[in-house]
Chain A
Amino acid sequence: MAAINLSSSLRLIAIFSPKITLQTPSPSSPNFTLSNPFPSISLKTNTSKRLSALTAVKKLSEAEPSSVPVENSELSGVFPSNSGVYAVYDESDELQFIGISRNIAASVLSHRKSVPELCYKVKVGVVDEPDRTALTQAWKSWMEEHIAATGNVPPGNASGNATWVKKIQKKQDIRLTPGRHVKLTVPLEDLIDRLVKESKVVAFIKGSRSAPQCGFSQRVVGILDGEGVDFESVDVLDEEHNQGLRETLKSYSNWPTFPQVYVNGELLGGCDILSSMYEKGELTTLLKK
């Protein structure tokens, strides 16, 4: 068999470029293997349509409840760190609260700490391609289903109940310059370097921390918030206050994509690395250093 190296194999991703017209696998045959010299490479297309939240999320009655583990460290093994809706039940199987979260595992952990006596089992509905509308729609469908079945709003969702939802005042995103009208006396790279070196955790994201503009950035914010990290955030799409940041940051970090997360002055990586470390429990350890 012809030897293949990582570079030549991965370069095959270019065949999917819209500029090149090649037949991609049909839904009936999502896998195909290229002939020699690359027999160990498989290419797939994800043909699933992006369904609306209503069809993507199971009904509340169909979702399987999972017991909340006693050990907080076991939570990420039981509950996903994805965005979605979740329903919390007490020991008597009474529904207490239906919530929306960017990080379900982190939200359950938070409830486990604040109201352990009410947090016994949880049903989860992961929302793929989560935007605010899709999440709200999924939450609404679960609420309506519960109200239709019982005639009651879950106690935690009742007006005025502050047990489950705490209004967190989010930090403002950092602006590296006062605005594009101001001429910089210091190179942008130096401003980045200073921020990264002087802050424990910095996340360069697409969009603001309160409204991330891409799924990867949203996930990073969700994980850091869930871990209770006091982090700085910079919106790389803010061309008014961070003009040229995207290109400068790519060369500064030698990393081509966003988000980018820095811890203790060093690049930790992007969404994939952060997610991987979070799921293995390595992130908590690192952030305690």
Chain B
Amino acid sequence: MCSSKRSVEIIDTSGGCGASFAVEIVSDQFEGKRLLERHRMVNTALAEEMKDIHALSIKKAVTPTQWQQQQESTNTPLTSQ
């Protein structure tokens, strides 16, 4: 995990045409926020892009602590460089 406690992974799920994406996000900005609020934050951040994107799937919107817990309990952690 990087020192800024943030990681964003963007996956093009459209096969290359740029129509649909999945995102996985680790951010301390999600601390104390419900899932709906977290997704709202992502939607707001991408307001402009959403006009051109056919589909956006928010696979993960978690805090660093939650990410750590998930990493410990599964073998498929969110990658972060």
Give the shortest distance, in Å, between A29 (CB) and chain B (any CB).
14
Given contacts A6-B25, A6-B27, contact A44 B35 (CB under 8 A): no
- Pick from B12, B15, B52: contact of A44, CB under 8 Å: B12
Question: Is A150 interfacial (CB 8 A cutoff)?
Answer: no
Q: Tell me if B35 and A276 are in contact (CB < 8 A).
A: yes
Q: Tell me if A269 and B39 are in contact (CB < 8 A).
A: yes
Q: Which residues of B contact A133 (CB under 8 A)?
A: none
Q: Tell me if A4 and B4 are in contact (CB < 8 A).
A: yes
Q: Which residues of B contact A44 (CB under 8 A)?
A: 9-12
Q: Smallest CB-CB separation from B61: which chain A residue? A: A272
Q: Tell me if B43 and A255 are in contact (CB < 8 A).
A: yes
Q: Which residues of B contact A162 (CB under 8 A)?
A: none
Q: Which residues of B contact A12 (CB under 8 A)?
A: 8, 10
Q: Within the assembled complex, what's the spacing in Å between the Cα atoms of A8 and B42? A: 11
> Chain A interface residue count: which class?
35 or more
Give the shortest distance, in Å, between B20 (CB) and chain A (any CB).
9
Give the shortest distance, in Å, between B58 (CB) and chain A (any CB).
5
Q: Which residues of B contact A39 (CB under 8 A)?
A: 2, 81
- Pick from B14, B35, B49: contact of A11, CB under 8 Å: B49
Q: Within the assembled complex, what's the spacing in Å between the Cα atoms of A273 and B43? A: 13
Q: Which residues of B contact A3 (CB under 8 A)?
A: 4
Q: Tell me if B7 and A17 are in contact (CB < 8 A).
A: no
**C-beta contact mask, A30-71 vs B, less than 8 Å → 1, else 0?**
010100000111111111111000000000000000000000
Question: Is A16 interfacial (CB 8 A cutoff)?
Answer: yes
Q: Within the assembled complex, what's the spacing in Å between the Cα atoms of A55 and B42? A: 35
Q: Within the assembled complex, what's the spacing in Å between the Cα atoms of A79 and B34? A: 27
Give the shortest distance, in Å, between B74 (CB) and chain A (any CB).
12
Q: Tell me if A42 and B79 are in contact (CB < 8 A).
A: yes
Q: Tell me if A45 and B12 are in contact (CB < 8 A).
A: yes
Give the shortest distance, in Å, between A257 (CB) and chain B (any CB).
7
Question: Is A216 interfacial (CB 8 A cutoff)?
Answer: yes
Q: Which residues of A contact B14 (CB under 8 A)?
A: 46
Q: Tell me if B58 and A256 are in contact (CB < 8 A).
A: no
Known contacts A1-B4, A14-B48; 15 additional CB pairs below 8 A are A3-B4, A6-B6, A11-B48, A12-B10, A13-B10, A17-B52, A31-B79, A40-B2, A40-B80, A41-B81, A46-B14, A269-B35, A269-B36, A272-B57, A277-B35
